[in-house]
Structure 1
Amino acid sequence: MTHPIDSLVHAAVFGDGAAKANARKQIHLQARKSGAVASSIYSLYMAIARSEVRAFTTPAFNIRALTYDSCRALFRAAMRHDVGAFIFEIARSEIGYTEQRPSEYAACVLAAALREGFRGPVFIQGDHFQASAKKWATAEGRAAEMKALESLIDEAIAAEFFNIDIDTSTLVDLSFPTRDEQQRANYEGTAHLTKYIRARQPKGITVSVGGEIGEVGKYNTQPDEVRAYVNGLIRLLQGQVGISKISVQTGT
C-alpha cells in the first residue's frame, strides 16, 4: 500500500495545476506541524563567529535527481549518526537543467523529512544564484539579468529557501589595477541582492545570505581581495544586516 507521504510527493511533482499546488502546501504544513521546520542557518553561523559554538564544517548536498529518495537516505543517515547541521541545496544552473523549481525541490526535501520522522531545522539553500558575465556586458543585459535573479529570489523565499548564496563573482574584472575596482561589480551586485532579500524575508526570519569571491576552478583567492569585497559591502549596506559567509577558492 502506498504511504500517504509518497502519494503527496507524487502529486507535488507530477500533479496538474491545483493538485500540485495543494500537495506542496500540505507537505509544508505537515512538516512544520511535525517539527521538521524549514529554517535559516544564520543564527548558527553568527554563534560560530562569536566563538559560542565550536567551529565545524556544515556539509551541503546538491541533489539533482531522485530528490525525494536521496533526501530520505540523507535524513536516515543523519539520524543514525546523530549528525548536526547539514544543508540541502540547488544552484540556479541546476534548477534549469534538472527542471526542479524551488517549490518542487523544497516540497521533496520536507516530505523526505516527514517520511523519515526527522525533527529539527531543515536548511534548504539556493546555491550559486549566479550572474552571467556575458549578459552583464550591456546595460540592457544587466537589467534583465538582475531582474531574473530577483525573480528567482522571490520564488525561492516563497518556497521557504531561507538560505541563499549570491554569486556575482563572475563579474570580477582582474584587468583593473586595484582590488577595489576588480571587486566592485561583485560587491555592488551582492549588496543590491542582499538588500532585496532583506526587504522580502518573512517577519522573524533572517535569511542567511552568502557571497562569493573566487570562481571555482580558477586561481586561489587572496586576502586583499576578501578585504576589498567586504569593505565594499559594508559601505553599500550602510548598517543593514549583511552576509553570513563568503565562499573563496582555496585550491582544494
Structure 2
Amino acid sequence: MNLNGKVAVVSGAASGLGLATCRALAEAGARIGALDRDAERLRHLDEALKGSVVTMTADVTEAASVQAGIDATLAAFGSVHVVVSCAGVGDAAKTVSRGTPFPLAVWDKVIAINLTGTFNLIRLAAVAMAANAPDGVTGERGVIVNTASGAATQGQIGQAAYSASKAGIVGLTLPVARDLAEYGIRVVTIAPGLFETPLVAGLPPPVAQGIIERNLAFPQRMGHAAEFAMLVRHVVENTYFNATTISLDAGARMSAR
C-alpha cells in the first residue's frame, strides 16, 4: 500500500513506539488519527504534525472511546486505511510473592489494555476499512499492525500477565487475518525486543546495560523507536506481508531475570 494520501489510526500515539510511528507515517505522506490517554502529549504531537494529524484522548479498553477516535479521524480525513496498535502497559508481579498471590487487579489491567485494547481497535477500525474501495493496484482495503513483544515467548520473572497479553496478540494474528481476507485487509504483528521506550525508561543505566550484555546478540544496544516505525512502514508498503508475527529484537534471548 502506498502511504501517500492514506489515513492511519495509531493508538499509544503520544510517546514511544506510537509517536515514532506517527512521525514515520506522516513523513511518508499519510494523515494520522492519533489516540492516547495523555492529552498533554497529544497536544505536542498536534503541534509537531500540524495539518497532518487529528488527536483524540482515548482509552483503548472502552468501545465508545475508540469509536469516537475513529469517527473523528473519518470526519477529518474521510477514511481509515492503516491501524497501528501501540498502546500498552508492563505492570509486573510474581505469581506468588512472600505468600501473597498475584494481584488480580494487575492481571485484569494488563490484559484489558494490551490484549483487549488491541482487539477493540482492530474490530472497530476493520469496519471502517471494509467500506474503502479496493486499491486499484493491490486490491487492498486496509492494513492492521499490532504490537506484541519478545515476552510473548520469552517472558521473565514477574511477567505472567504481560507475557500472556502479548502471546494473545500473536495468537489472534492469523485468525483475524483469515477473518478479514475477504475484505482485502492484511493483519501483521511486530514483536519488538528491548527498546528505548517509557516502559524501560525507569531502569538504572547499569541495570539496563547488564540486560543488554546478557541477552542481546548484535547490535548490543536498546532498539530505537524509529527502527520499529521503519518496520511498520515497510509492512504497510509490502503487500505480501500478512498473517504473521515479525521479531524485531537484535537476536535477543531473554534470561529469567
TM-score normalised over the length of structure 2 = 0.39
The structure number with the bigger radius of gyration is 1
